[in-house]
Structure formats: structure tokens, C-alpha cells
Structure 1
Amino acid sequence: MSADLRLVVFDVDGTLVDSQADIHAAMIDAFASAELAAPGRADVLGIVGLSLPEAMAELAPGVDAATRLRMVEAYKNAYATRRKTVGAAEGSPLFPGVRDVLDAVHAVPHWLPGIATGKSRRGLDALLDGHGLRGRFVTEQVSDHHPSKPHPAMLHAALSETGVAARHAVMVGDTEFDMAMARAAGMVAIGVTWGYHPAPRLAEAHHLIDDIAVLPALLKDIWGET
């Protein structure tokens, strides 16, 4: 492993992009497919970060497994249809300042940007293409190939792919699942307060930030860089 490289892993929904409209609309359609009343927006946003099967189990605990699987497929189809109709960038816009900070991270040669998301490969590709961010991240971990957050498998894979030691890596996310995942992987957990979990749910964060613009300076402080 290199002692010089640093890894900055970002969550996506609620951290880089505001996808709540897409997520809530798709969840309404998923519940409608099973003739069930949809949960409220706050309940839906509360499970953002989990992989879809786990999220559906949280939102519809009394529904049998076969029905929940159909609801998961209905959600995926509804999300894909909305993406085609509304557009990935329009339906899930970048939060203010995100592009500038991604540029700043990318500009430091030994800082490696990565992604760990509950999105599928298809969903992440569509989002990256929509925002012109394809190829910006050196490691991209998605729900297709890993257990749901907060299991640390995504971060273990990101560390393995980049050759960075956990002590030289951070996870930036907006949910308690991101914070727990980072701690389980031995990484620094940076919670953001503009996302879908309120600050009290981010109790496991090592650091909390209210503005993404401060992230580069925080990273330098964490790693003792000038």
C-alpha cells in the first residue's frame, strides 16, 4: 500500500445529488403496484442509503417477501421511466458547490475520489452521464455487487482497488448507514447535514460539515497536509 495516496469516498443520494423527488415518486409507484398506501416523504428519505430490498423491508414490514420483490422491480422501472422523462440531471440535481469540490479533490494528484452508493450500476451510470461526471471517480461501488450499507463491503472493495490503507481514507455521506459503514471499515466518517438524515442520526460521524465547500480544508486538516 502507498503511504502517499488518500481516498475520498462519496455517497451519492443526499450527499452529491438531491434525488428526493425521484426517490419519493418511484416509491409511490412501487406501493401503488401492490395496491398499498405509500409511506410519507420523511419515511422514504429515512431509508435512503439502504439497498432497495432492505429499504422495502423497512417501509413495508408486513408485506410478504414475494410482493416486496415485485415492489422493488416496480420501483426500478418507475425510477428508470422518470429518468427518461425528466432527465437524470434535472431529477437529481447536484447540490450547490458539489462540482467545485469534486474539481478541487480531483486536482490534488494523491487524492483519489470514489463512490459507495446504494444505487444500482445502471442508476449510477445514468446519473454520472447526466452530470458529465463519467470517469471522474477511480472506484465506484454499487449495490449490485455488495451487501447493503452499513456492511463495509463497499469500502473494503474501494480500499482494495485503490491500494489505500483505511487510516488514509474518508467516507463522506448524509446517513447513519454511511457513518456506521465507515467506522466498520476503519475509515474516518464525515457526515453532511444537507442530506436526508438529520444531524442527531449522524452521531457516529467523526466530523460534521454544513457546507461542502469546507471539505477540502477539512481533508487537509485530517491528513496533516498544508
Structure 2
Amino acid sequence: MTRPLRLIVFDVDGTLVDSQADIIAAMSYAFGAVGMPVPPQNDILAIVGLSLDVAMARLAPDRDAVTRAEMVAAYKNAYADLRAQSDVADSSPFYPHARATLDRLSETPENILGVATGKSRRGLDALLSGHGLSGFFTTEQVADHHPSKPHPSMLQAAMQETGTTPENAVMIGDTAFDMQMARAAGMRAIGVSWGYHPPEAMGEADHLVHDFRDLPGVLDNLWGSD
């Protein structure tokens, strides 16, 4: 019997690639641009995955919307400058075994791979191009066109684009926002322990993986390997 199509959606920063150095540097520039002290590193990493406007509101709640908009623009410009100065493989390297696992999952005909990220379209395009992944993912959901995580809009759009249903879809991410987004979309969720939120923050995950190489087996168990 033919198996149904299965949508596997990945978060990007903190899940597929480790881009924290550029994120922290760009956020430091954004705060410096408006004369504010830079938040602690843990506070910055805690908002990774949110859309920038929501992230800035959390990090600078006492600043008005105009100032936060200036900070968002400064962040985007700084991030783009950083990307232009270094190779993507150096500034946002894959986590161990991430690329090989993506290739392995893509070899299964029923699997449809996608991403749902707080990055902008420009930022995601630069990252995928730098890693040789342009066109690799069937569906790519970015912050430009959706409310911030954990709103389910990104995952709802991914399912609509690919003709899949919640019972045959899963979200894989490193933050509580990813897990909450999956739940809001009616999908299952797999958390990874190597990202920016501590494992204990992902209590809504169906499974927690500690090594990318374990992911195919977890997915087989989730849906059944037959």
C-alpha cells in the first residue's frame, strides 16, 4: 500500500545551523545604534526564532515602536554586512551530521522537506545559497509573510502548499516557540537538544533528539516504518 506524503519541517537557526555568532554581533550593533546597552547573550539567544519586531519588543520593552523599528533595520543591515564579510559555512556552520541527515531523508520518496524560520526571505536565501541548498526544500516559510512564531501560520501554509495534513506532518526545532507552533497547527513536534533553548524548555515535544543521526529512526517510530 502506498504511504501518504509526509511533511518534515525544520527550523533553521539553532536547529540546522549554528548562527549565534552573527546573531549576537548584529544584535549588539542594533542596540549600539540607539545608544542602549547590549542584553546578555542568554537573553539574545532566548528570542532566536521570533520575528525581529517581536524579538525587539521583548528585548527592549521600554522603547517606542519607532526606536524598535530603527533597531530592526540596524540588525538587518549588520547581519547582511557580516554575511558579506565571511563564508556562510564559517559564520553559520551546519550542526554535526545535519547535511547528511537532510540528504538521507530526501531520498525517501514520501518525505517532503521544508523550513519555517524567523529569518527574512533575504536572510534565508543567502544562507541556503551559501550552503548549496537553494531549491532543496519544497516549502520555505519566512518571517516576511507570517506572524511570528508560535503562531501556526507558517506551518499551515507549508501544509497547504504541499497538500499534507497535520497527522502526516512534523516540526523539528530547538525552541519552545517551535514546539508551540507545531501544537497550534495540530502537528507533532520533535525538539533538538543542541540549539538555543535548554531541553527542559521543550516540554511540548513528542520526542527530544540529541544527535542528528537519530532523527530518521525517531521519524520512523513516529509514523511507523512500514
TM range (shorter): over 0.9
SS at structure 2 position matched to 1:7? strand
Query: What residue in structure 1 maps to residue 21 of structure 2?
Result: 21
8 Å CA contact 2:23, 2:79 repeated in 1: yes
**AA partner of residue 207 (structure 2):** H
Gapped regions of structure 1 (runs ≥ 5): none
Total equivalences in the alignment: 225
How far apart are residue 3 of structure 1 and its match?
A: 6.1
**Residue 125 (structure 1) aligned with residue 128 (structure 2):** no
Structure 2 match to 1:204 = 204
User: Which range is displaced more, 216-225 or 23-32?
Assistant: 216-225
Report deviation, 1:4. Answer: 1.1
Which residue is equivalent to 2:137? 137
Match of 2:85 in 1: 85
Counterpart in 2 of 1:37?
37
TM-score (norm 2): 0.98
**Hey, what's the Cα distance between the residues in 1 that align with 2:195 and 2:223?**
25
- Structure-2 separation of matches of 1:7 and 1:166: 9
Partner of 1:193: 193
What letter corresponds to residue 56 of structure 2 in structure 1? M
C-alpha distance in 2, partners of 1:141/1:168?
18
Distance in 2 (CA, whole Å) between partners of 1:190 and 1:41 is 25
Q: Distance in 1 between matches of 2:50 and 2:89?
A: 22
1:190 and 1:219 map into 2 onto residues whose CA distance is: 9
Runs of 4+ in 1 over 2 A off after TM superposition: none
Q: Distance in 1 between matches of 2:180 and 2:111?
A: 23
Distance in 2 between the 1:211 and 1:71 partners?
A: 35
Give the 3-state SS of the residue equivalent to 1:104 in structure 2: helix
Structure 1 residue matching 2:215: 3-state secondary structure = helix
**Would you say the 8 A contact 2:3–2:110 is kept in 1?**
no
RMSD of the alignment, in Å? 1.0
Partner of 1:115: 115
**TM-score normalized by structure 1?**
0.98
Q: What is the deviation of 1:218?
A: 0.8
Tell me the CA shift for residue 87 of structure 1: 2.4
- The answer on whether the counterparts of 1:3 and 1:164 sit within 8 Å (CA) in structure 2 is no
Matches within 5 A, 1:43-122: 43-122=43-122
What's the secondary structure of 1:114's corresponding residue?
strand
Question: SS at 2:114's partner residue?
Answer: strand
* Equivalent residue number for residue 163 of structure 2: 163
| Shift of residue 40, structure 1, vs aligned partner | 1.1
